[in-house]
Structure 1
Amino acid sequence: MNIAVFHPGTQHSWQTALALQQLGQLAWYATSIFYQPDRFPYRLERLLPEPLASRLHHEFGRFSHPALDPALVRTAGLAEWAERLLARAGWRSLAKRIDRAGNRRFVAALASDIRSATPFSLWGYSGSARSTFELAQQYGRSCILDRTNGDFRIYNAMMAQVRERYAAWFLPSEERVPERIIEDDAQEYRLADTILVGSEFAATTIRSAERDPVIDARLRVLNYCYDEQLFAACPSPQPVDRTRPVRFLWMGLVIPRKGIQHVLEAIAMIPPSAAQLTIVGDMKLPRDIFARYRDRVTYLPTVPRSAVPAIMADHHVLLLPSHFEGAGITLYEGLAAGCALIQSDRCALAVTPQTGVQIGAPGTAAVHAAMMEAIEDRDRLDGWRAAAQASARAYSFANYRNNIRQLLTDIGI
């Protein structure tokens, strides 16, 4: 049976859709952002003057997936773009309201297909699947829920402990997850026939929150993958210059949940002659907090996807000491670029003793110790980096596609 994939944003949904397309089982892929040069708003890049046109092209390029058949792709509305622009401008609360409204309109656009006589199953993503799954259940369609994070009840409990020490690091938009969202999540679990997560940590949080053998039986860990074509040109890592600082990299949202406070506190304890830190991503820290560490950091706002491999390949160690993660595709990307990893045990366990350090529970002392290990033992650091790209092959798109094939066989689709 064919499967329709839907996500009002992006996440890794395009990779899921592409895998199903290559397996001959993609009914259609519905998303809000998909680069099509001849359609609005993407054709604006040809109409606007430079340098605005180039900046727009770089932004649009983050959503270019040429391997996907455009005939199987559906887009609905501009709410996702409005949300992103508002968030970049600092209007995060309004961005979240726009996001919720856009998700509702997105779901409504799928209704006619779900009511049709065409047979297909649904593959939806957490936080946007409840209404669609409720309708699908009425029409006897099986539903796969791709849960891209752990359970937010466990998140609230864990982050309450972090806030006790790091309250000043949280923006108002990074508050507790509201009960209405948690209720929607719980209902998605009950509507789904299969629940997928990207790591054993995420699965554990759902089991701990639900304590329901029915939900437990639906849970499966499906490792995500990275974009191999994007990283294909990354060179093999060369030995680290013993006379220069080790280059550490943070890639992704800059938020306390992911442990940025530990990284900044740790870099402040290390001389500039020994370590450099680059942060790439959407900054969601109070300005006065980040200002304390600004002289130790090279900061780049969100960059087009095409720029990510070169940035990663120019660094030695990727850091993700996250307190709470669904998986962490950036870890797979770091390996593919030849980076060693320093990560917590609350992500997908991409790191091995051959490729870096797993610090266990995140904390500044643990992050600092791991960074110093890389700095003080350059031979070991070279070994980690030399093994990284081979380790990344476990997270290839081919493996992801094969795992989806096996999953569909196991669940009878």
Structure 2
Amino acid sequence: MQQKKKILLSHSGKQHSYYVARALNDLGYLRTFYTSSYIGNISAQKLIQKLDLTFFSRRFLDGLGGNKVHSSWKYEIKELVYRRLKGNTQAVSQLVYDRDVKFDKDLAGKLHRLHFDAFWGFQGSSRECIDKANELGKESICEMTIAHVPFAKRLLLEEAKLHPEWAESIDFVSFPAHYEMRLIEEPLLAKKVIAISSFLKKTLVEEGVTSEKISVIPLGFDANSVSFEKENESINNRPLRVLYAGRITQRKGIKYLLDAIKCFNKKDVELHIIGNVYGKGQEFEKYKDLYQYTPGISQLQLYKQYKDYDVLVFPSLLEGFGLVTIEAMGAGLPVITTANTNASEVLRHGLNGYLVPIRDSQAIVDAITRIRNMDNPEFQRMRQLARLTALQYTWDVHKEKVLTFLNSI
């Protein structure tokens, strides 16, 4: 039997890296997971869960203890404090960039002393490590989590010109020159690239990354934690409860959803928004009579609350994947979203949701209206299909795809 390659996994923050680490560990490939902030002590994890400490509950994952995790909070603590004090702003984003560069540089300086066969890093915090792994003759893997930066900048700068009043709410558009260069170079230098959606792969190929070295591994969701009721309350004698969940930024097309909701009477359609505001939020505030707003909540709370809504609208201009769509579908919510997400993987137009063009409020109106006008049996069928689709994208399925990828390198 061929000996399994030992993988050094690295991420300066979080995203879905904990799930990748757990998958690699379960499969017997993980050497060490290097990250900034992780709570590895099992007793501490259980206490945090018991006390329902939201912030700290985000800093570990069931099934991933600390014996193979090397964490150092020093890289992230300043960013975490500033984010708590100032919210999601460009100044906090600058701290993220600084964290990525420092973390990457420090780890790259150690690689020659570490025992591993392949380096697996994430977009933004892997440039130096990829270079060093290549120099050492190791396999180098870069996992991309959002559309490639040249593509993203063109689209989002165009959006800022279309709606300058929303420009300061657009994230992932303005970077220091040195950081933007590392985002461009990472997938070019890595021997293998992982894209978490077909859309993301498309943006890489358009910017010159070799298609043959890119593998698409879609993300998963925690099917056991997301509440699903086989048949919910009829939608025919009450308002349709529309959900938007995620960072409130024009990158995710929030203005187009708000403009769409203007077309409905509140007795027919309610809009519920859950998430933290990026930027000052002045334009978002102008629409406050149109929605019910809840600031960002923990992942576990959101899992429980999906069932309180009927449909998710996610009109994003630019994603890497859009995990919220899978989670919502897992709870039985049909999804209205754009092609610039994971739609090519998960959406079956007219069956488990609706595909709409980016920047098209009228298309959002039409899609919501179709669902609003459904009789209850038709709506329940759409809910069931949404759930069945989501079950094809669990973290267990993701782990199987990781194994397929590992067997190919």
Q: What's 2:281 paired with?
A: 287
Q: How far apart are the structure 2 equivalents of 1:26 and 1:239?
A: 45
Normalised by the length of structure 1, the TM-score is 0.89
Letter in 2 for 1:90: K
How far 1:329 sits from its partner (Å)? 1.0
Give yes or no for contact 1:59–1:303 (8 Å, CA) kept in 2: no
How far 1:308 sits from its partner (Å)? 1.1
Aligned: 1:102 with 2:106: no
What is the aligned counterpart of 2:296 among 302, 305, 311? 302
Higher mean displacement: 30-39 or 96-105: 30-39
What is the aligned counterpart of 2:166 among 165, 169, 186? 169
What are the residue-to-residue correspondences of 1:4-403 with 2, within 5 Å? 4-36=8-40, 57-90=53-86, 92-111=89-108, 113-116=110-113, 118-171=115-168, 174=171, 176-178=173-175, 179-210=177-208, 215-231=210-226, 233-284=227-278, 286-349=280-343, 350-352=346-348, 353-379=350-376, 380-403=378-401
Is the partner of 1:170 in helix, strand or coil?
A: helix
Q: How far apart are the structure 1 equivalents of 2:401 and 2:183?
A: 25
Is the partner of 2:224 in helix, strand or coil?
A: helix
Letter in 2 for 1:227: D
Q: How far apart are the structure 1 equivalents of 2:142 and 2:373?
A: 45
Letter in 2 for 1:62: R
Deviations 1:154-180, CA, capped at 9 Å, x for gaps: 112112332232110122774733343
How far 1:309 sits from its partner (Å)? 1.1
Is the partner of 2:242 in helix, strand or coil?
A: strand
Q: How far apart are the structure 2 equivalents of 1:45 and 1:384?
A: 37
Q: How far apart are the structure 2 equivalents of 1:45 and 1:335?
A: 28
Give yes or no for contact 1:171–1:285 (8 Å, CA) kept in 2: yes
Alpha-carbon spacing, 1:117–1:273, altered in 2? closer, same or farther (3 Å): closer
Alpha-carbon spacing, 1:119–1:8, altered in 2? closer, same or farther (3 Å): closer
Report the aligned-residue RMSD.
Answer: 2.5
Q: Percent identity?
A: 21
How far 1:97 sits from its partner (Å)? 2.9
How far 1:145 sits from its partner (Å)? 0.6
Deviations 1:129-175, CA, capped at 9 Å, x for gaps: 10111222221121111000111111121123322321101227747
Deviations 1:352-387, CA, capped at 9 Å, x for gaps: 132111113341111111111111224333221122
Which consecutive unaligned segments of at least 5 residues does structure 2 have?
Answer: none
Give yes or no for contact 1:27–1:120 (8 Å, CA) kept in 2: no
Q: How far apart are the structure 1 equivalents of 2:169 and 2:237?
A: 43
Higher mean displacement: 330-339 or 105-114: 105-114
Q: How far apart are the structure 2 equivalents of 1:240 and 1:88?
A: 40
Is the partner of 2:182 in helix, strand or coil?
A: helix
Normalised by the length of structure 2, the TM-score is 0.90
Q: How far apart are the structure 2 equivalents of 1:33 and 1:246?
A: 40
Letter in 1 for 2:86: G
Alpha-carbon spacing, 1:219–1:279, altered in 2? closer, same or farther (3 Å): same
Q: How far apart are the structure 1 equivalents of 2:48 and 2:394?
A: 32
Letter in 2 for 1:249: L
Deviations 1:173-218, CA, capped at 9 Å, x for gaps: 74733343332122212221111111111111111122x5xx2221
How many matched pairs?
399
How far 1:109 sits from its partner (Å)? 4.3
Q: How far apart are the structure 2 equivalents of 1:261 and 1:76?
A: 39
Give yes or no for contact 2:149–2:184 (8 Å, CA) kept in 1: no
Is the partner of 1:89 in helix, strand or coil?
A: helix
Which consecutive unaligned segments of at least 5 residues does structure 1 have?
Answer: 47-52
Letter in 2 for 1:33: S
Q: How far apart are the structure 2 equivalents of 1:323 and 1:121?
A: 34
Give yes or no for contact 2:100–2:124 (8 Å, CA) kept in 1: no
Q: How far apart are the structure 1 equivalents of 2:204 and 2:42?
A: 43
Q: How far apart are the structure 2 equivalents of 1:30 and 1:362?
A: 39
Alpha-carbon spacing, 1:306–1:81, altered in 2? closer, same or farther (3 Å): farther
How far 1:84 sits from its partner (Å)? 3.3
Q: How far apart are the structure 2 equivalents of 1:61 and 1:237?
A: 31
How far 1:263 sits from its partner (Å)? 0.9
Give yes or no for contact 1:170–1:286 (8 Å, CA) kept in 2: no
Is the partner of 1:398 in helix, strand or coil?
A: helix
Letter in 2 for 1:298: Q
